[in-house]
Amino acid sequence: MSLKIAEKISLITVCVIVLFVSLSTFYFLKQEKRSLTFELDERINSLLSYLSIRSEYPVLIEDGEAISELGREILREKDIVFCEIKNREGVILFQEGSKKVEPLRQYTSAIVTIRNAEAGEGEELVLPGGRKVREQIGGIHLAVSPAGLNCRMSRVKQTIILACGVAVIFAILANSLFLGIFLGKPIDKLVVGTRKIAAGELGYKVPVRSKDEIGQLAISFNRMTDALQKSQDELVAAREYTDNIIESMIDSLIVTGGEGRIKNVNRATLDLLGYTEDELRRKPVEMLFEEKPFFHGKNFQEFIKRGYIRNMDMTYITKGGQTIPVSFSSSVMKDKEGNLAGIVSTVEDMRETKRLMEEMELSKDKMEKAYGELAKNTARLERFHKLTVGREKDMIHLEAEINSLLKELGRPIKYKTPEKTEDGAQKEKGDE
């Protein structure tokens, strides 16, 4: 059975109170018994003194009737059950009662008289003058029953026990009430607060009713909930930010656990492969790739040991069985102890890249062919240019020679020929 802290403190307090009351009761009873015993001794000793004084003269004159009357008077006193009076020779002058009824308390006293030291034998009276001495002339023996003492002790014990019991009950009730009000209820409120916080109600506040340690604890608890609320808000914001980044990624993202099963994927992965998130969760990651042996072979162990892999050519398999060429990159996550905690992988769709590369190859081939044709045409043009330039020079030279012959014959020049000017340019020269 689980006890609350207030109940535990109450139980400890009750045990302490009971122990204290028990020790106090034992001490009080011991003191009371000592007091009653002392009182009994005082009373019996007073009776012995009284009896010793009253019996002095009857013992001196051996008056048996007076001695008997004194003895019976003493026996009528409370608790006295036996009385015996003797003279100096030990002769019993009076004896009544019984000493065998129960354990008894025994009391004795001497009967003395005062006489003149100079008095002769047989002179017992005290006369004026002279030196006086005390002389024992007999003895008294009383037996007292402890029944009265025990009865009084029993009544005292009952009274003390009853008083202590009432005090214990009152102390228990007062302690329970005090702890319940000043400790139990505040702690119960803190327990309710912890349960609400555990249930996710981080905005819950414990009411602060006092400025003592419990009040300080409530204040600290409320500060803790504020810090938890702030931390949760920051975590939620960071998670939403991260989720937005992941969801907005064009490339496929796959997060697997240490056992190689899918824990999370982004929207791009679902759209590319045609699966739903529930269909992929907790499934082995190799089901998405054509290169299944990689995830169980030596290469995979080397990847785990190295911690990352980049731009590995692999092939996706969609839900419909279509294959997609991809570029696979991955990194290993480890916990504080260095054990494998998970793997984060990004997969890039390479279909468009491959198409562009193929188009570039075709364009390159076409450009190479065009360059070849251009080179051929250029060579032809150069040959044609050389041919035409040679012929033009021959025509100019021929025209110059005809003009020279015509000039010698005195005829007008028929052809215009270019002449070089001072600046190096050619100027045509014709007939004037």
Instruction: Supply the DSSP string of 304-357, one letter for each residue.
Output: HHH-EEEEEEEEEE-TTS-EEEEEEEEEEEE-TTS-EEEEEEEEEE-HHHHHHH
**Exposed (0-12), middle (13-18) or buried (19+): which is 196, by Cβ within 10 Å?**
middle
Per CATH, domain 249-349 is 3.30.450.20: yes
Task: Give kind and range of the element (H or E) at residue 154.
Answer: helix 147-179
**What is the reported pLDDT for 325?**
92
Q: How far apart are CA 382 and CA 261, in angstroms?
A: 71
The tens digit of pLDDT for each residue in 319-346 reads 988 999 999 999 988 888 888 888 999 9
Backbone region of residue 95 per phi and psi (left: phi > 0; alpha: psi in -120 to 50; beta: other values): beta
Reported as a pLDDT band with limits 50, 70 and 90, residue 5 is low
Answer whether residue 238 shows pLDDT above 80. yes
Q: What's the confidence (pLDDT) of residue 293?
A: 79
**If one looks up domain 1-114+135-195 in CATH, what number appears?**
3.30.450
Tokens of 28: 């009080």
- Which pLDDT score, from 0 to 100, does residue 129 have? 53
Residue 422 above 70 pLDDT? no
Average pLDDT of the segment spanning 307-316:
89
Q: What is the DSSP string of 24-57?
A: HHHHHHHHHHHHHHHHHHHHHHHHHHHHHHHTHH
**Which residues are 265's β-sheet partners?**
254
Confidence of residue 188 (pLDDT cuts 50, 70, 90): confident
Lowest mean pLDDT among 140-149, 205-214, 230-239, 272-281: 205-214
Q: What percent of the chain has pLDDT over 70?
A: 87
Q: How would you classify the pairing of strands 80-87 and 132-144?
A: antiparallel
10 Å CB burial of residue 136 (0-12, 13-18, 19+) is: exposed
Query: Which pLDDT score, from 0 to 100, does residue 358 have?
Result: 83
Element (H, E) at 195: helix 185-198
Residue 103 has pLDDT above 50, yes or no: yes
Q: Tell me if 1-114+135-195 shares its fold with 249-349.
A: yes
Res 19 pLDDT > 70: yes
pTM: 0.43
Q: ∠105-110-112 over CA atoms, to 5°?
A: 160
The average pLDDT across 197-206 equals 80
* 333 against 180, higher pLDDT: 333
- Domain ranges in the chain? 1-114+135-195, 200-241, 249-349
Half-sphere exposure of 122 (CA within 13 A, CB side): 0
Question: For residue 30, is pLDDT > 70?
Answer: yes
Structural element, H or E, at residue 115: strand 105-116
Confidence of residue 16 (pLDDT cuts 50, 70, 90): confident
In one-letter notation, the amino acid at residue 395 is: M
Enumerate the H helices of 249-322 as residue ranges.
267-273, 277-280, 298-306
